[in-house]
Structure 1
Amino acid sequence: MTPSSPPDARQPTEQQEMRAGLPRARAALARAASRYAASPPGRLRALRGAFLDAHTDAVYAELTGGRTRGARLAALAADAARAFPGLVPSAAELAADRALAQAGKAGHEIDLGLFFSRILRSPLSGGHLMDSLLSPTERALRLLPEFTATGHADLGSVRLERRDGVARLTLCRDDCLNAEDNRQVDDMETAVDLALLDPGVELCLLRGGEMTHPRYAGKRVFSAGINLKSLHAGGISLVGFLLRRELGYLHKIWRGVRVDDDMSWHSPYRAKPWVAAVDTFAIGGGMQLLLVVDHVLAASDAYLSLPAAQEGIVPGVANFRLPRFTGPRLARRIILEGHRVRATDPEAGLLIDEVHGPDDLDAAVEHSLDRLRSPAVTANRKMLNTGEEDLDAFRRYMADFALEQAFRLYSADVIGKVGRFSARAGTPVG
């Protein structure tokens, strides 16, 4: 057999072409995407990674007018698909995947995870993206005049009421124990924006409403976490749920909503104190919410848990924030082993400020709100949060999270677990 000829060292490899000047690299990427369209995805992902490793800031600058325009996650991905063919899935590919159950999807979201991971890895581009995502949504700006006038907004899965200077956000997905899906993430971000933008609001309260679910009918429930039925059906998206949730309303609760007004010279972020009251349980994303608020009350029969590792996914930013509250050993028990923290357990004091009997919780909530009305609370809250959580460390965490969570969504164990879950009924969701 005649040995094959060695590659000509003078011929550029595809990896080298990906790292060439942006126009040349863009053309090379488009050729590679066409050539490997029917191949296993690993090789093309390696080339996409090489392209982004060399050109992330240039790509992001082109998509955002030199970082002069704000960016939204879904719009940014759509613009990238048009401007850089082969870099991320096309609109048609994503639409086809959305119509399928999770087990039948092609896994195009992994490529979105790669794209956003590289952007967030860059201090320049990632910093701009995170700051852009703190701007209020168009939906919130559209609803703001009516909410400031009436003090009421029914967003579907969240009801918002302003009373005595308090924005009261009630999670009201009574059919599924406030399990979150794409719809609820959108409603929550809108509600958070409205609460932070309304000048009549001094502070904010999060609480679950009464359920109609047979097992908990008539009881308040805080949150059952991610909706595994929606995940099985393909309705939990990386961009619209898993990334938007962390970089959208949770980050806004922590840092504030970005505004451009006469006080922007002082701070471009409008933040307010937050109280959460936990009835029955705060599972998964519900427990994650408690890590960004200022005061937590719980009924004595409530519990907290983060079962994401048992479900096969990563519990958002809890891996980053929880050890600050509990220390690393207890955080590992909660995240890796599924340890439940009951409100009456000794370690619950690390996560819950007050525990009251279920019949006494309403009055205790009102007392806690009164204690946070001091004008200096917001300024001190800002300085506490600034010292507690480094923004660049959060950005780097989210860069890793974007890709790790994308892989987890399409892992065999996750698909198997959510498939088995779809046959069960009457239990907490996530």
Structure 2
Amino acid sequence: MTARLFLGWTGDLDTDAGRLAEFGPDGSDAARRLRTGFLRRHADAVYDRLTGGRRERPRIEELARRAAVAFPGLVPDADQLAADAARPQAAKEGREIDRGIFFHALLGSPTAGAHLLDSMLRPTDAALALLPEFRRTGKVELPAVHLERTGAGAHLTIVNTHCLNAEDNQHVNDMETAVDLALLDPAVRVGVVRGGVMTHPRYRGRRVFSAGINLAELHAGRISYTGFLLRRELGYIHKLIRGLRLDGDEEAWPPVRRDKPWIAAVDAFAVGGGAQLLLAFDRVIAEAGAYFSLPAAQEGIVPGAGNFRLGRLAGGRISRQVILWGRKVWAQEPDGRLLFDDVVEPGALDAAVTDAVERLSGPAVLANRRMLNLAEESQDGFRAYMAEFALEQALRLYSPDVLDKVYRFSAHRGAA
């Protein structure tokens, strides 16, 4: 079947799904145009079918798996994704673009999108399994993140130390688990995120906050569109702002709150994804000499929700200078005050964090941070942004300029 022979949509979900299935895994523009048209007409009905009328709450990865079974030809199936995942980025067939079309449509719907955002605010199974241990010992060590409760604070230390705390699939998985644990533990009143001590030769013995996305993993094809690029935004970063949703919370009286204030302690630099992360914190403390940078335009991709949040905090001019022009903002410069609340000498960072934990443990902090977050970032505005991000980021991953950078990076590493 070709696009020329396509007879049009009937408006009936199952009939139209049958017509779509005839195109199978076709990755042509014509097939993607049809998938877009199908979802434009049936996004809410598709979502209801996949979630049992919104009684179930699958996360994005499970939702896409269900879609591949229930609606053949709509998104790639497990075998197709596995084959693509085994290839370097420049050799992939771009099947994740079809997931981008899928999530663009679902998040673009006020009904399906709101339900999906809420589902992604549920705690992960991994966190629920580890919660008894964390409550008992106050410690959990994950491959990329170590979590320790000290007094009222839960300290999340990023330990991807070999790559300057660059983000990869494991890092996103572990960060969400650790954030969930900090939010679930009633003994924790404030969360703190800081980079660990580096083993990388250039910064050996020093702490670094984050070098952003791990470009080596991206170029090798090991950065997941759904499990990394979407999950980090809809999962742990959104949880930093909104907190957790638990079944039954809406019915409880007095209301059960699962949100907490968060502090970032920035050593050396916050680049890319690390800089995006700072925009979700209630207080950012930096050592003198640290800087903020979002070089995604140079890398060729969209810097998560950085475009959504940076302008609100620093203004449109600075946002464009940073994202489009590659400007670094240093903690001690005047504009740094728009991004860093406190700038201290390196030896004073621990004391500044301790003081901030104490001050943010006050009884009125939670209510006021909730109201600030509601005023500054509406759930619906975030949903609409993420709908567009879902498609734009999928397309950028397979754009010629990005693949050219991938090829040149791989060739350089091979020559080295």
Question: What's the counterpart of residue 159 of structure 1?
Answer: 146
Match of 1:204, SS state, is strand
The percentage of counterpart residues that share the same residue type is: 57
Question: What's the counterpart of residue 396 of structure 1?
Answer: 384
> Is contact 1:102–1:234 with CA below 8 Å preserved after alignment?
yes
Question: What's the counterpart of residue 373 of structure 2?
Answer: 385
Question: What's the counterpart of residue 23 of structure 2?
Answer: 32
> Is contact 1:259–1:269 with CA below 8 Å preserved after alignment?
no
Measure how far apart 1:360 and its partner are: 1.4
Cα shift readout 1:312-348 (whole Å, capped 9, x = no counterpart): 0000001011001111011000000110001111100
Q: Does 1:252 align with 2:243?
A: no
Question: What's the counterpart of residue 171 of structure 1?
Answer: 158
Query: Bigger CA drift: 195-204 or 358-367?
Result: 358-367
Structure 2 alignment gaps of length 5 or more = none
Q: 1:292/1:66 Cα in 2 relative to 1: closer, same or farther (>3 Å)?
A: same
> Is contact 1:275–1:294 with CA below 8 Å preserved after alignment?
yes
1:30-429 mapped onto 2 (5 Å cutoff) = 30-33=21-24, 37=26, 41-261=28-248, 264-265=251-252, 267=255, 270-422=258-410
Cα shift readout 1:100-141 (whole Å, capped 9, x = no counterpart): 000010000000000000000000001000100000001001
Number of equivalences = 409
Measure how far apart 1:275 and its partner are: 0.5
Match of 2:161, SS state, is coil
Q: 1:216/1:313 Cα in 2 relative to 1: closer, same or farther (>3 Å)?
A: same
Instruction: State the one-letter code of the partner of 2:326.
Output: G
Instruction: State the one-letter code of the partner of 1:341.
Output: V
Instruction: State the one-letter code of the partner of 1:291.
Output: L
What stretches of structure 1 move > 6 A for 4+ residues in a row? none
Q: 1:73/1:365 Cα in 2 relative to 1: closer, same or farther (>3 Å)?
A: same
> Is contact 1:260–1:268 with CA below 8 Å preserved after alignment?
no
Separation in structure 1 between the aligned mates of residue 127 and residue 380 of structure 2, nearest angstrom: 28
Match of 1:270, SS state, is coil
Q: 1:369/1:268 Cα in 2 relative to 1: closer, same or farther (>3 Å)?
A: closer
Q: 1:263/1:229 Cα in 2 relative to 1: closer, same or farther (>3 Å)?
A: same
> Is contact 2:249–2:256 with CA below 8 Å preserved after alignment?
no
> Is contact 1:168–1:205 with CA below 8 Å preserved after alignment?
yes
Measure how far apart 1:414 and its partner are: 1.0
Match of 2:22, SS state, is helix
Cα shift readout 1:119-177 (whole Å, capped 9, x = no counterpart): 00000001000100000001001101110111000011000000112100000111001
Measure how far apart 1:421 and its partner are: 3.2
Separation in structure 1 between the aligned mates of residue 155 and residue 346 of structure 2, nearest angstrom: 19
Structure 1 alignment gaps of length 5 or more = 1-11, 426-430
Q: CA RMSD for the aligned pairs?
A: 1.5
> Is contact 2:165–2:209 with CA below 8 Å preserved after alignment?
yes
Separation in structure 1 between the aligned mates of residue 60 and residue 275 of structure 2, nearest angstrom: 25
Q: Does 1:23 align with 2:14?
A: yes
Separation in structure 2 between the aligned mates of residue 422 and residue 63 of structure 1, nearest angstrom: 39
Q: 1:66/1:269 Cα in 2 relative to 1: closer, same or farther (>3 Å)?
A: farther
Match of 1:367, SS state, is helix
Separation in structure 1 between the aligned mates of residue 255 and residue 233 of structure 2, nearest angstrom: 22
Match of 2:43, SS state, is helix
Measure how far apart 1:413 and its partner are: 1.1
Compare CA radii of gyration and give the structure with the larger one: 1
Cα shift readout 1:364-386 (whole Å, capped 9, x = no counterpart): 11112111110110111111101
Separation in structure 2 between the aligned mates of residue 379 and residue 337 of structure 1, nearest angstrom: 38
Q: 1:278/1:99 Cα in 2 relative to 1: closer, same or farther (>3 Å)?
A: same
Match of 1:257, SS state, is coil
> Is contact 2:233–2:305 with CA below 8 Å preserved after alignment?
yes
Please give the TM-score of this superposition, normalised by the length of structure 1: 0.92
Instruction: State the one-letter code of the partner of 2:95.
Output: H
Cα shift readout 1:204-236 (whole Å, capped 9, x = no counterpart): 101001000000000000000000000000011
Match of 2:263, SS state, is strand
> Is contact 1:114–1:403 with CA below 8 Å preserved after alignment?
yes
Q: 1:155/1:15 Cα in 2 relative to 1: closer, same or farther (>3 Å)?
A: farther
Match of 2:24, SS state, is helix
Separation in structure 1 between the aligned mates of residue 404 and residue 206 of structure 2, nearest angstrom: 31
Separation in structure 2 between the aligned mates of residue 169 and residue 238 of structure 1, nearest angstrom: 24
Match of 1:226, SS state, is coil
> Is contact 1:170–1:209 with CA below 8 Å preserved after alignment?
yes
> Is contact 2:90–2:406 with CA below 8 Å preserved after alignment?
no
> Is contact 2:249–2:255 with CA below 8 Å preserved after alignment?
no
Separation in structure 1 between the aligned mates of residue 394 and residue 250 of structure 2, nearest angstrom: 39
